[in-house]
Amino acid sequence: MTGDIYKQCIGEPTEPSNIVIFGAGGDLTKRKLVPALVKMLRCGLLHKKSRIIGVLKGRTQADWLDSLYHGMHEYAPDIDIDAQQWQTFSALCKMVPGDLQDESTYAELATALETIDGCTHAMFYCAVPPEWYTTIAIGLNKVGLGEEKDGFRRMVIEKPFGMDLESAKKLNRELQAVLDESQIYRIDHYLGKESVQNLLVYRFANSILEPLWNRNFIDHIQISAAESIGIEYRANYYEKSGALRDMIQSHLMQVMTLVAMEPPVEFTADAVRDEKIKVLRAVRAIEPENIKKQTVAAQYSSGTIDDEPVGSYVSEEGVSPESATETFAAVRFYIDNWRWQGVPFVLWTGKRLPRRVSEIVIRFRKPPFNLFDAQASSPLANALVFRLHPDEGIALRMNAKLPGLTTEMRRSVMRAPYSEEGGDVADAYEVLLHDVLIGDATLFSRADEVEESWSIIQPILEAWKDRLAINRYHAGTWEVEGMEELLSDCVLGWHKPPY
Ligand code: BG6
């Protein structure tokens, strides 16, 4: 890619904005934010008069830019940026050195923002651990940067939003004491995945699905995120979090709300989020006596993935040898409303599984009477699969006759890969950063959603908290004790990818 960096692409153009990144020297900035901003600038979605202001300490501006440049090549090689394009991008970047707990850092930031001509909007991205969110919000407010006088002021925070119901409420209270809820953008990068948004289009722009999308036709739904990676040197966080908090309370429950919600009256942030929260409110509380029946927790022991030996969870750096933290979690939810009464929603996730696949699997009921029982090699049921990654797309599992002079049947899968729709599949961070800049909060979690999802998870956290031992599975296998039982009454049982 050479030539003019500013190319046209699809999407609402943004106004000149200051993008302030707290923790601009960290991994998230290098891996995700800068590549996304470079792509947005390159295709004209980021206004060329915007500025990227990195707040960090212990580096010079040249040093910082150098590490961003190398990060681009290491983590986003497909962007294939040339020297001229990097120069155009880096000319927009400015570093404000300082400590987050130091009031003078915010004063300096305010001064830096004042000197930027014609760019009055500001997004404050907190690419720092959550314990800093409140300090940053207070710091900004003290120097008047929380006030929306001449342009927008939006604060972006990453999960985890609390570690349980109480801490989530506390964080919401503290942030709302200095900012308006409409200024707070809670990122859940799963909602930025194009395939997740496509789910909404499939549901609400196609009339053939709606009549089937309910308890009369659907047997159960599985929403999954299998990963082959381990905890990637994040023991400090993961030991306290575990798979339930890390993936189910956040990403997978958010996806569940989109699968289960009623059509909103309009496609606006609040109309969509009002429908999502109704789903969460209808989730049946899991009683202590049902925890065992409705949940699975396990931890990986050593094994082999892609022919490479991998160690156990407890052998990872920073993990206690006695750790009973779950690296695999599954929960079977019920949504008590007219549409979903009695339909299990099984959300599951795990690290060090054989492959990285994330899917929404809608399994339909078996035909009421089976003419072809003798010829069927597996139960006759249909499934619609939304593949969130990799190979985003949709697959419909049907039953078909084998060709030839036989009545035997086989499973036939019709696939519609998203890549064949034309255009570039945007990264979740591109989608979400763009949405913050244009003020569209549809794909961001509202305070009430966050609290509601924690209150659903809370009984499981309580039941699991004093556990001393945990089931194991060998890394690189699907042999997770309890999973087959959790889905034993569901058509076709546990769906281990791929089809
Ligand atoms: C993060 C979790 O939120 O999502 C990680 O903290 C997990 O543990 C990651 O690996 C998965 O994201 P993706 O987009 O790779 O499925």
| 159 or 466, higher pLDDT | 159
> Which pLDDT band, with edges at 50, 70 and 90, does 399 fall under?
confident
318 pLDDT more than 80: yes
Instruction: For a ligand 1 pocket test, name from 251, 328, 353, 431 the mutation site with the most ligand atoms within 8 angstroms of its C-beta.
Output: 251
Buried b (16+ CB within 10 A) or exposed e, 66-102: ebbbebbeeebeebebeeebbebbbebbbbbebebee
Distance CA 101, CA 183 (A): 22
| 159 or 417, higher pLDDT | 159
* CA of residue 7 to ligand 1 center, whole Å: 31
Residue ID of nearest Cα to ligand 1 atom 6? 246
* CA of residue 250 to ligand 1 center, whole Å: 10
Distance CA 61, CA 97 (A): 9
Residue ID of nearest Cα to ligand 1 atom 2? 246
Q: Any idea which residues carry the catalytic annotation?
A: 251
φ and ψ at 304, to 5 degrees? -135, 135
Distance CA 284, CA 279 (A): 10
204 pLDDT more than 50: yes
Helices (H), 268-407: 269-282, 291-294
The pLDDT, as a whole number, for residue 369 is: 79
Average pLDDT on 276-302 reads: 97
With 0-12 / 13-18 / 19 or more C-beta atoms within 10 angstroms meaning exposed / middle / buried, residue 206 is exposed
The pLDDT, as a whole number, for residue 368 is: 81
Task: Give me the domains of the chain, ranges plus CATH numbers.
Answer: 18-158 (3.40.50.720), 191-426+446-486 (3.30.360.10)
Residues 472-487 have pLDDT tens digits of 999 999 999 999 999 9
380 pLDDT more than 60: yes
* CA of residue 82 to ligand 1 center, whole Å: 29
Residue ID of nearest Cα to ligand 1 atom 5? 246
Residue ID of nearest Cα to ligand 1 atom 16? 225
> Which pLDDT band, with edges at 50, 70 and 90, does 499 fall under?
very low
**Which is the closest atom of ligand 1 to the Cα of 225?**
16
The pLDDT, as a whole number, for residue 11 is: 78
The pLDDT, as a whole number, for residue 5 is: 53
Instruction: For a ligand 1 pocket test, name from 28, 191, 227, 427 the mutation site with the most ligand atoms within 8 angstroms of its C-beta.
Output: 227
Distance CA 162, CA 380 (A): 44
Residues 74-109 have pLDDT tens digits of 998 888 888 888 999 999 999 999 999 999 999 999
409 pLDDT more than 90: no
* CA of residue 329 to ligand 1 center, whole Å: 14
Taking Cα atoms as reference points, which of 106, 93, 101, 110 lies closest to residue 59? 93
Residue ID of nearest Cα to ligand 1 atom 4? 247
**Which is the closest atom of ligand 1 to the Cα of 428?**
14
- SS3 assignment, position 384: strand
- E strands in 159-230: 184-187, 218-226
- Cross-strand partners of 363: 220, 383
Q: Which helix (H) or strand (E) segment is 332 a member of?
A: strand 328-334
Taking Cα atoms as reference points, which of 225, 284, 214 lies closest to residue 250? 225
* CA of residue 188 to ligand 1 center, whole Å: 10
Residues 105-125 have pLDDT tens digits of 999 999 999 877 778 899 999
Q: Which amino acid is at 488?
A: S
4 pLDDT more than 70: no
- SS3 assignment, position 168: helix
Q: What is the DSSP string of 257-280?
A: HHHHPPPPSSSSHHHHHHHHHHHH
Instruction: For a ligand 1 pocket test, name from 161, 189, 194 the mutation site with the most ligand atoms within 8 angstroms of its C-beta.
Output: 189
- SS3 assignment, position 118: coil
The share of the chain scoring above pLDDT 90, in percent, equals 78
* CA of residue 225 to ligand 1 center, whole Å: 9
Sign of torsion over alpha carbons 405, 410, 414, 415: negative
Residue pair 427/32 in contact (Cβ under 8 Å)? The answer is yes
3 pLDDT more than 70: no
Of 76-90, 363-377, 431-445, the range with the highest mean pLDDT is: 431-445
* CA of residue 358 to ligand 1 center, whole Å: 11
Average pLDDT on 190-206 reads: 91
Residues 342-362 have pLDDT tens digits of 999 999 999 999 999 999 999
Distance CA 53, CA 20 (A): 5
With 0-12 / 13-18 / 19 or more C-beta atoms within 10 angstroms meaning exposed / middle / buried, residue 118 is exposed
The pLDDT, as a whole number, for residue 420 is: 78
Q: What is the mean pLDDT of the chain?
A: 92
Cβ neighbors of 282 (< 8 A, separation 6 or more) are 335, 336, 337, 340
Pocket lining for ligand 1, CB < 6 angstroms: 189, 225, 227, 246, 358
**Which is the closest atom of ligand 1 to the Cα of 251?**
3
Of 4-8, 237-241, 400-404, 405-409, the range with the highest mean pLDDT is: 237-241
Give the pair of three-digit tokens for residue 183. Answer: 């200024």
Average pLDDT on 274-282 reads: 98
The pLDDT, as a whole number, for residue 1 is: 40
**Which is the closest atom of ligand 1 to the Cα of 193?**
14
Residue ID of nearest Cα to ligand 1 atom 9? 247
Distance CA 331, CA 296 (A): 7
Average pLDDT on 335-347 reads: 98
The pLDDT, as a whole number, for residue 429 is: 95
Distance CA 154, CA 188 (A): 16
378 pLDDT more than 80: no
| 395 or 380, higher pLDDT | 395
Instruction: For a ligand 1 pocket test, name from 186, 196, 233, 246 the mutation site with the most ligand atoms within 8 angstroms of its C-beta.
Output: 246
